[in-house]
Chains A and B, each alone.
Chain A
Amino acid sequence: MRGCLLAVAMKAGKRLQACQDTHDADANCDGPDLDFVYADVDGYQNEIAELYSYTEFSEFQMNVKAFEDQMELYDLPPNWQKQDPAAQRGIVMKLVDQLEVSDRAFRMQAARCILYLAQGCWAEVQSDEEQHQITRDNVLVLHKLGVFASFIDLLNMEIESACSPDIVAVKITNVTLVDSTDIRVILSVLYIITETIRDERERGSEDYKELAESFVQDINSPLPDGELLAVKLLGMITRFCSGAAPQFPMKKVVLLLWKVSLLGLGGMDVLKNLKNEYRLKVGLEPITEDTLEVTKCMRASSPPATATDILENQYPKRNFKRSLMKQRFLDEPEQIDMEMSGNEGQNNANNGSGNGGGSGNGEEELSQYYRPYDDPSSSASSTTSTANPNNQPSSTQAPAAVPPIQITARLPWTPKVRQKDIDQFLDISRNKFIGYSLIGDHESLAGLPQPIHEGFKTLQRHMYLSLADVQIKKEEDIARNPISTHEDEIKLTPAEVLYQAILPNLPQYMIALLKVLLAASPTSKSKTESINIMADVLPKKMPLTATQSTKLTVDMGRHKEIIVKAVSAIILLYLKHFKINHVYQFEFMSQHLVFANCIPLVLKFFNQTITEYVNTKNSIPLLDFPSCVIGEQPDLSGDSFVYGGEMSDKPYSWRNVFSCINLLRILNKLIKWKHSRVMMLVVFKSAPILKKTLKVRHAMMQLYVLKLLKMQTKYLGRQWRKSNMKTMSAIYSKVRHRLNDDWAFGNDLESRPWDFQAEECTLRACVDRFNLRRYPEATQKCGNNGTAAQNAENAQQSNMMAGNNGMGNNGSDVNGYGNSGGNGGNNGGHSQQQQQQLNDYGVEGGFPSDEILTHSDFAFFGHSGWWDRKVELTDYFKANYAVWLEEEVYNSQTDWDAL
Chain B
Amino acid sequence: MKMADGSTILRRNRPGTKSKDFCRWPDEPLEEMDSTLAVQQYIQQLIKRDPSNVELILTMPEAQDEGVWKYEHLRQFCMELNGLAVRLQKECSPSTCTQMTATDQWIFLCAAHKTPKECPAIDYTRHTLDGAACLLNSNKYFPSSVSSHRVSIKESSVTKLGSVCRRVYRIFSHAYFHHRRIFDEFETETYLCHRFTHFVTKYSLMSKENLIVPINVGENAAPGESEA
Q: Interface on A for B, CB 8 Å cutoff?
A: 74, 86, 89-91, 93-94, 96-98, 100-103, 106, 143-146, 149-150, 153, 156-157, 159-160, 210-211, 213-215, 217-218, 221, 224-225
Contacts and interface: CB of A to CB of B under 8 A. Distances in A.
A150 B163 contact: yes
Contacts of B115: 153, 156-157, 159-160
A225 B114 contact: yes
B156 A217 contact: yes
Given A97-B166, A160-B115, A90 B209 contact: yes
B77 interface: no
What are the 7 tightest A-B residue pairs by CB atom distance, in nearest-first order? Answer: A214-B156, A93-B207, A90-B207, A102-B107, A160-B115, A225-B114, A156-B115
B208 A102 contact: no
Given A100-B109, A144-B159, A221 B206 contact: no
Nearest to B208: A90
B116 to A, nearest CB: 5
Interface in B120-157: 135, 140, 154-156
B139 to A, nearest CB: 12
Contacts of A213: 156
B156 A153 contact: no
Given A157-B116, A214-B155, A217-B156, A106 B207 contact: no
Interface string B156-172: 10011011001100000
A233 to B, nearest CB: 16
Most B-side CB within 10 Å, residue of A89, A91, A146, A211: A146
B108 A102 contact: yes
A755 B115 CA distance: 50
B163 A149 contact: yes
Contacts of A150: 163
Contacts of B221: none
Contacts of B159: 143-146, 214
A540 to B, nearest CB: 28
A149 B141 CA distance: 14
Contacts of B107: 101-103
Given A96-B166, A101-B108, A103-B107, A215 B156 contact: yes
Contacts of A160: 115
Interface residues of B, number: 27
Interface string B182-213: 00000000000000000000001011111000
Contact of B163 (A89, A94, A146, A156): A146
Given A103-B106, A214-B154, A145 B162 contact: yes
A772 B89 CA distance: 49
A145 B207 CA distance: 11
Contacts of B156: 213-215, 217-218
Contacts of A217: 154, 156
Contacts of B206: 93
Interface in B86-107: 99, 106-107
B210 A210 contact: no
B116 A97 contact: no
A646 B106 CA distance: 52
Contact of A102 (B99, B140, B209): B99
B114 A156 contact: yes
Interface string B31-49: 0000000000000000000
A106 B108 CA distance: 11
Contacts of B166: 93, 96-97, 100
A156 B116 contact: yes
A153 B114 CA distance: 8
A100, A157, A213 — most chain B CB neighbours (10 Å): A100
Contacts, number: 76
B215 interface: no
Given A90-B207, A156-B116, A146 B155 contact: no
B106 A74 contact: no
B111 interface: yes
B118 interface: yes
B109 A102 contact: yes
A145 B163 CA distance: 8
A472 B91 CA distance: 65
Majority secondary structure, A binding face: helix
B135 to A, nearest CB: 8
Contacts of A211: 155
Contacts of A106: 106
A144 B157 CA distance: 10
Interface of B: 99, 106-109, 111, 114-116, 118, 135, 140, 154-156, 159-160, 162-163, 166-167, 204, 206-210
Given A145-B159, A210-B155, A100 B116 contact: yes
Nearest to B205: A93
A144 B160 CA distance: 9
B206 to A, nearest CB: 6
Contact of B162 (A102, A103, A146): A146
Contacts of B116: 100, 153, 156-157
A536 B194 CA distance: 49
A146 to B, nearest CB: 5
A153 B107 CA distance: 16
Contacts of B111: 100, 153
17 contacts: A89-B204, A90-B208, A94-B209, A96-B163, A96-B166, A97-B210, A103-B107, A106-B106, A144-B159, A146-B159, A146-B162, A146-B163, A149-B160, A149-B163, A156-B114, A210-B155, A211-B155
Contacts of A97: 166, 207, 210
Given A157-B116, A159-B115, A215-B156, 19 more contacts: A74-B209, A96-B163, A100-B116, A100-B167, A102-B99, A102-B107, A102-B108, A102-B109, A102-B118, A103-B107, A106-B106, A146-B160, A149-B160, A153-B111, A156-B115, A210-B155, A214-B154, A214-B156, A214-B159
Contact of A89 (B114, B160, B207): B207
**Considering residues B154, B207, B209, which has the most beta carbons from chain A within 10 angstroms of its beta carbon?**
B207
Contacts of B167: 100
Nearest to A215: B156
B210 A93 contact: yes
A894 to B, nearest CB: 56
Of A97, A103, A160, A214, which is in contact with the most chain B CB atoms at under 10 Å from its CB?
A97
Contacts of A100: 108-109, 111, 116, 166-167
A91 B207 contact: yes
A86 B155 CA distance: 19
Contacts of A214: 154-156, 159
Nearest to B166: A97
Nearest to B163: A146
Interface centre among B99, B156, B162, B206 (most CB of A within 10 A): B156
A684 B156 CA distance: 51
A881 to B, nearest CB: 47
Residue from B135, B140, B159, B160 whose CB has the most chain A CB atoms within 10 Å: B159
Contacts of B209: 74, 90, 94
A730 to B, nearest CB: 50
Contacts of A149: 160, 163
B169 to A, nearest CB: 9
Nearest to B141: A221
B210 to A, nearest CB: 5
A221 B140 contact: yes
B107 to A, nearest CB: 4
A31 to B, nearest CB: 49
A562 to B, nearest CB: 29
B114 to A, nearest CB: 4
A91 B207 CA distance: 7
Nearest to A98: B106
Contacts of A91: 207
A93 B109 contact: no
Contacts of B108: 100-102
A152 to B, nearest CB: 11
B210 A101 contact: no
A801 to B, nearest CB: 44
Nearest to B157: A214
Contact of A101 (B106, B135, B163): B106
